[in-house]
A and B are shown apart, each in its own frame.
Chain A
Amino acid sequence: MALLSELSHYGPSICVKFVREKVLAGYGPFVHVYDSKNGQLLNVVRIFHINKVHGISVKNETIVIYGGKSVCVVKLLALMEKKDVSSDEKRCHEWIIDAVFHADDKRILILTSYNQVITCGYDGSIESVTGILGEKAILYSGSIRVLSKNEIYVNAGTVLEGIIIWDLIKEKTLLKLTGHEGSIFSVKTSDNGKLIASCSDDRSIKLWNFEDGRLLSTAWGHTARIWDLQFICDNKRIASVSEDSTCRIWRILETSELVLEETYNVHLIKSSWGVDVNEEKLVAATCGNDGKVVLTNLNQDGTMRQSLGSGLSSELAVRDMELGETEIIKGAFWLEFGIVVVTSMGRILKYSNSNSEWSAITEEPRFISFSVMTGIQSQGLILIWSSSGELLLMRFSQNGELIQRKNLSIRSMSKIMNCLLVLSGSDLMIAIESPNSRDPFMCVKLDPKTLDKTMQLSWPKPLKFVSTCLAVLDEKLVVGSRFSSVAVFDMACPNNEPVVWRNLTPGDAISSISFVECTSDEKSLFSVTNRDGFYAFVLLDFKKKSFSVLHNNRVSKGFLEGAFYNESGDYITYGFRSSLFYVFNETKQQEIATEVCGGAHRLWKFFPNLENDVSIFLYVRAKKLHVKKFSGLRTIVLNTGIHGREIRDLTLINKLNFKGLYLLCTGSEDTTVKLNLLDSKTGSIKTVWTQRKHTSGLQRCKFFGSNFMISSGAREELFLWEVNTSMNSNPYIRMLASLPTSSDSPDLRIMDFDFLGFEHFNDFLLATAYSDSAIKVWRYKQKCSKFELLVSGHYKDCCLLNIKFTMFDGKLHLIVSATDGMLILWDLNIVYSSLYERLISGSGAESLPTQSLPEFVSRISVHKAGVRAIDVKALSSKQVRIFSGGDDNALAMTDFKIIEGNHYACEVICRNQSASASTITSVGLFQNGQTLATTSVDQKVQFYNVSENELNIVGKRATTVADTGCLAALELEERAMILIGGMGLSVWNYEY
């Protein structure tokens, strides 16, 4: 057998544990060791053969790790240095619920799912097995609390009968705590032995008195089941994680009441499984079903609600400002030294961080009642303007001295509605707009040093144009507007009309536009955000006055005010979700910061990406100015994981790569399609984009042609995507077209599709197979980006599972597999040849009438149940071979042949009825069709040598990916990479 090795693995992480500054995370059968200070992955070590790591306990330098029926005692040093310690794996006879150290550093205690405690040495030698009489019913959770040598308590969480607390030494039941509904998922005793906290199916957390078992309080907040909890902060707080994918911090009041203090959205979609807190640093580590391992700084009062300079909090800053009765803040801006503010009384004030004091700068009657403030951080520059055309520029030194002041009056406009200030190279520019459509759109250029006006330009204002944001690049003013349009004003040719592009994104107002990079052919890439939550990357060609969208997507929820690439190349978005301001790492799919500020309608300003990874958010609420300092270090993503739910399909081809990394698309039950980069040496995967076009779980995704990808799912959703790898900043992917739907049944799924290109033509054929037995063939018309229905019909009424085009005897055929165990063949040559002729004769643009699907020409029963997966190989011009795997555990090889006189013959060449213990979910040929790989739900991956009339197994391996459902092979020189998807993703190297 060829050499097979697992390169990398992504999937649910069930437990995390701090060991001082290190974080240990259970990751399938592995433990990942991270450095919490810099977020680096220090080591990956295999702990068990196949069982997953469910829990970790630590005592000094020794670690006990357990999962399923396996347990292992290792030294921290071994976890740091070794790659595999599974030779030390020990098996218990039952599922292990908890394993901890005894008081004496020589033994461990193991709690099993049947409520027994095994006391054994580090080497596994059993000393005793302890239980309490009559309580053998199964546990879902439990923990052992060792207070001292003679005080060891077992907290058992049952399915039906609440919590049983028993004394291990006396082998006696102490308490039975009833009150929760449903199964108990976690129960812990505080380390002072005074309190018990528990959580269950019923979504509540209960706090109990250890002395007498009294229920002290019940707290609600999580919106789904709670999986784990822990006492923190000297037993004064509780951290909990839940199926709702949040981590919550609860404060225990003197009265024993539990108050929800903070909610962190740490994981994607489904389930945060584990939490641990570093008490000293007040950092929480959490892990989840999405495979993410995340550090969250809980120390909000210390660093988050950051004191400004010398211990002055935002609240104080406001109090000291002393506004008049009716005076309100009209504008505020953050500079290096502090804050500058303009009020409705025309007062301009500054706040200095160094002495924590407010002082008045000036009072300007012209700014009474209406004024707006903007500025440029790096220049220490502030611009205040009024609707009457009064502009005031002020420059401050680094320590807050006003060093320059310049007035400007704009008289040529009837009224001013917007002034946008921007610095580009050595030019300082103010774009000025009036609400009056007859007024021009004006731009004033200033000398950035003297602030003297050097040039004033104006253009007729485009129709339906209301400017919202501005970027400047090489003498071009690129102005974002409402109605999702962008206008370009060329300062080099002020006589030219502005170029206006409309409908750049769905939605209405463009909220930000920023330059990303230039191409060698002088096109410029801009990032554009739309307030309605869409964002796009558009390539503008100023010369040809054309644009193309390279990327489009929308944020998961809420409004979008802006976005930028940070130093690590991650795309960061920010905006509002009802009353919340959020900052989100779109690349890592991680919320980085939030502030409840009351919503977007109030005065606010965000200063992202300042020095030291700090961002400042200023806002006015209830007349008060609030300053929130976000440290980029609030959240550190140790592992980005992959999808929040099962991966249903994955696709890659070796011609698509970006800077040497292969493009990999994954489609998941979580409704997203991700574009990832795969490193073919290490097998590591980095997600670049998470596309949210689908509204239901994905079924399939496949790359084809030079740079296309198609994805399909329920609700008849099928999208055509175009991938672009020519930029330097990132690969990009945009939705190009969607397939027309025929019904509004949310259950109607496109189970599979296939495509076939025409030589020399950009149009292609698409075949789709549906869950209602429908088969359709479409032609994609490149010119208008639309699909045209050519053939439509039904097989029977059973669900179809796979569809493949095949050229057979020089004619187009369609092979379909269904839940009735059949492989069915259609001859579709008439459709193909008539279309091809049209394309050749140049009449391809005309539309063709829809034909009904003809009778199939041949079919054969191959499986006893649904044919889950097929792959096809042409044996000769007159013979095709189909490899199929089914619900019936069988793997088969079937041939269709054309024999004399246009008759079809079909025959099952071989069938292995018990190829696996469970449904075969995918089959894939690689190595020029010489090797076949299969995956099955029993978590097995098998490799077969394909010979003329046999399939010979050459390798079989267990995979850690549960719900094993799809595979893809990437053929490289002398080897292939095999990717296996399901509840997670793993990458294997297969050397020929």
Chain B
Amino acid sequence: MGKSSKDKRDLYYRKAKELGYRARSAFKLLQLDKEFQFLDGVTRVVDLCAAPGSWSQVLSKRLFEDADSVENSEKKIVAVDLQPMFPIDNVTTLQADITHPKTLNKIMELFEGQKADFVCSDGAPDVTGLHDLDEYVQQQLILSALQLTTCLLREGGVFVAKIFRGRDIDMLYSQLGFLFERVVCAKPRSSRGTSLESFIVCIGYKPPKHWVPKLDVNTSVETFFEGCGIGRLSLEDKLAGYSEEPRSIAEFISCGGLDSFDSDATY
């Protein structure tokens, strides 16, 4: 992010520089939080796909605003990415692949058995230009993040993830509906209107009763979600014929205020 020359002309890019954020993405989290207030009162958070770390910077500021608060010892931010990250105050960084099952144990160790209040993922794979493959990989990244989330998040917690509103996005909405009370598709003003990027804000985690998420080194994402309503196909003895999969449309919210800087505009 913030590498191409197009980004440099961007107002958010310049503002991020001014405020000391590592990427313009910081404003996306700030604008999302302004709308949903999901960071109010949280103490333990996981920032997946966090490099270079601007979301972690925002989280660090929000959680540790009051430098001397006694509760600070309770607070914890874990940031995970494939890429190494420069240290950030009050943030524990972890270099790992979020699709790898071993990553879960590493995060759990850092939380010492406690659950997180908030999990976010701003992950994006390298795009190839094959739209269907890129969307599939992005969805796998979201499902991996969701997998970790189901093992880490407390009931009632919030999960936020970057999505691309492409061909099968309505299938993802339908799947998330099984796990959260409310699923909203939010587009911060700082995210370009011309890009397919938006964020799902999943509020009120409520896993189905009798379903215990268990991450095993050999289960695939599909088998993991089996039994919770998400795993569409269990391995039957025959490949199924074509059928339409359930789709639904999530509520859309634009956040950051329509008067804030427009990332599509030329200033």
Asked whether A772 lies within 8 Å of B266 as measured between CB atoms, the reply is: yes
| Assembled-state Cα–Cα distance A49/B236 (Å) | 21
Asked if B254 contacts A821 (CB within 8 A), the reply is: yes
The proximity string for A residues 217-244 relative to B, scoring 1 for CB distances below 8 Å and 0 otherwise, is 0000000010100000000000000010
The reply to whether the CB of B218 lies closer than 8 angstroms to some CB of chain A is: yes
- Expressed in whole angstroms, the Cα–Cα distance for A479 and B178 within the complex equals 78
CB-CB under 8 A from A90, the residues of chain B are 239-242
A120 contacts chain B at the CB level, 8 A cutoff:
yes
Q: Which of A132-140, A396-404, A869-877, A901-909 contacts B (4 or more CB under 8 A)?
A: A132-140
CB proximity of B249 to chain A, nearest CB, Å: 4
Q: From B97, which residue of chain A is reached at the shortest CB distance?
A: A160
Min CB–CB distance A646 → chain B (angstroms): 10
Any A CB within 8 A of the CB of B235: yes
A820 (CB) vs chain B CBs: closest residue: B258
With A797-B267, A937-B196 as contacts: A124 and B132 at CB distance below 8 Å: no
- Is residue A94 contacting chain B, with contact meaning CB distance below 8 A? yes
A120-B239, A820-B262, A938-B165 given; A887·B220 CB < 8 A:
no
A148 to B100, CA, bound (A): 33
Of A89, A118, A120, A160, which one neighbours B242 at CB under 8 angstroms? Answer: A89
A94 touches B220 (CB 8 A): yes
B101 at the interface (CB under 8 A from A): yes
Minimum distance in angstroms from B255 CB to a CB of chain A: 9
Using CB atoms, name the residue of chain A closest to B172: A917
- Structural contact, A771 and B6, CB atoms closer than 8 A: no
B266 and A89 within 8 A (CB): no
Q: How many residues of B contact A (CB 8 A)?
A: 59
- The answer to whether the Cβ of A770 comes within 8 Å of any Cβ in the partner chain is yes
Would you call A505 an interface residue if the criterion is a C-beta within 8 Å of the partner chain's C-beta atoms?
no
Please determine whether B242 and A271 come into contact, CB atoms closer than 8 angstroms.
no
The answer to whether residues A864 and B131 also contact, given A770-B266, A798-B265, A917-B165 and a CB cut-off of 8 A, is no
Asked if B165 and A797 make an inter-chain contact with CB atoms under 8 angstroms apart, the answer reads no
Residue among A93, A747, A773 making CB contact with B9, cutoff 8 Å: A747
Taking a contact as CB atoms under 8 Å apart, the answer to whether A917 and B249 are in contact is: yes
Say yes or no: A86 contacts B82, CB within 8 Å: no
B130 adjacent to A14 (CB under 8 Å)? yes
CB proximity to B under 8 Å, residues A177-216: 182-183, 185, 201
Are B169 and A917 closer than 8 Å at their CB atoms? yes
Q: Which residues of B contact A938 (CB under 8 A)?
A: 165-170
Which residues of B, 214-254, contact A by the 8 Å Cβ criterion?
217-222, 232-233, 235-243, 247, 249, 251-254
Contact of A962 with B167 at beta-carbon distance under 8 Å, contacts A68-B136, A797-B262 already known: yes
B99 at interface, CB cutoff 8 A? yes
Give the residues in chain B near A54, CB-CB below 8 Å: 133
Q: Report the Cα distance A92→B240, complex, angstroms.
A: 7
Q: Does A313 contact B (CB under 8 A)?
A: no
- Knowing A95-B136, A938-B167, the reply to whether A865 touches B187 (Cβ < 8 A) is yes
Q: Chain B contacts of A94 at CB under 8 A?
A: 220, 222
Q: Which residues of B contact A114 (CB under 8 A)?
A: 220-221
Mask for A45-76, Cβ within 8 A of B = 1, else 0?
00011111010000000000001101100000
Contact A771 B249 (CB under 8 A): no
> Which among B137, B187, B218 is the interface contact of A131 at CB below 8 angstroms?
B218
Q: Is B43 on the interface with A (CB-CB < 8 A)? A: no
Closest to B100 in A: A137
Q: Is B140 on the interface with A (CB-CB < 8 A)?
A: yes
B169 to chain A, nearest CB (A): 5
Closest to B167 in A: A939
Q: Find out whether the CB atom of B266 lies under 8 angstroms from the CB atom of A917.
A: no
- B208 within 8 A of partner (CB): no
Q: Does A745 contact B (CB under 8 A)?
A: yes
In this complex, the interface size class of chain A, counting residues with CB under 8 Å from chain B, is: 35 or more
Cβ proximity bits A828-862 to B, threshold 8 Å, 1 near / 0 not? 00000000000000000000000000000000010
Query: In angstroms, how far is the closest chain A Cβ from the Cβ of B33?
Result: 18
Q: For the complex, what is the distance from the CA of A113 to the CA of B222, rounded to whole Å?
A: 12
B residues in contact with A747, CB < 8 Å: 6, 9, 266
B252 and A126 contact, CB distance less than 8 A: no
Closest residue to A964 on the B side, CB-wise? B167
Interface string of B145-174 (1 = CB under 8 A from A): 000000000000000000001111110010
User: Residue of A at shortest CB range from B196?
Assistant: A937
Residues of B near A131 (CB, < 8 A) are 218
| Chain A residues in 8 Å Cβ range of B262 | 797-799, 819-820
A889 touches B252 (CB 8 A): yes
Instruction: Answer whether residue B40 sits at the interface, using C-beta atoms and an 8 A cutoff.
Output: no
With A131-B218, A134-B218, A747-B9 in contact, is A866–B264 under 8 Å at CB?
yes
Q: Which of B129, B247, B249, B265 has the most CB of A within 10 A?
A: B265
Contact with B along A763-800 (1 / 0, CB 8 A): 00000001111000000000000000000000001110
Contact A136 B238 (CB under 8 A): no
Chain B contacts for A889, CB-based, 8 A = 185, 249, 252
Q: Is the CB of A116 within 8 A of B220?
A: yes
In the complex, whether A983 has a CB less than 8 A from a CB of chain B is: yes
Question: Which chain A residues numbered 124 to 154 have a C-beta less than 8 Å away from chain B?
Answer: 124-126, 129, 131, 133-134, 136-138, 140
25 A/B residue pairs, CB under 8 Å, sorted by A: A14-B130, A51-B132, A71-B239, A89-B241, A91-B242, A92-B239, A124-B238, A227-B128, A270-B129, A747-B9, A748-B266, A749-B266, A770-B266, A798-B265, A799-B193, A861-B258, A865-B252, A887-B187, A917-B170, A917-B247, A918-B169, A938-B167, A939-B167, A962-B131, A962-B132
- Residues of B that sit less than 8 Å from A by CB: 6, 9, 82, 97, 99-101, 125-126, 128-133, 136-137, 140, 165-170, 173, 185, 187, 193, 196, 217-222, 232-233, 235-243, 247, 249, 251-254, 258-259, 262, 264-267
Question: A93-B220, A243-B129, A917-B165 known; 5 other A-B pairs, CB under 8 Å?
Answer: A136-B101, A748-B266, A797-B262, A820-B262, A938-B168
Q: Which 3 A-B pairs have the closest CB atoms?
A: A918-B165, A124-B239, A962-B131
Which residues in A have some Cβ–Cβ distance to B below 8 Å? Answer: 12, 14, 48-52, 54, 67-68, 70-71, 86, 89-95, 113-114, 116, 118, 120, 123-126, 129, 131, 133-134, 136-138, 140, 159-160, 182-183, 185, 201, 225, 227, 243, 270-271, 273, 289, 745, 747-749, 770-773, 797-799, 819-821, 861, 864-866, 868, 887-890, 913-914, 916-919, 937-939, 958, 962-963, 983
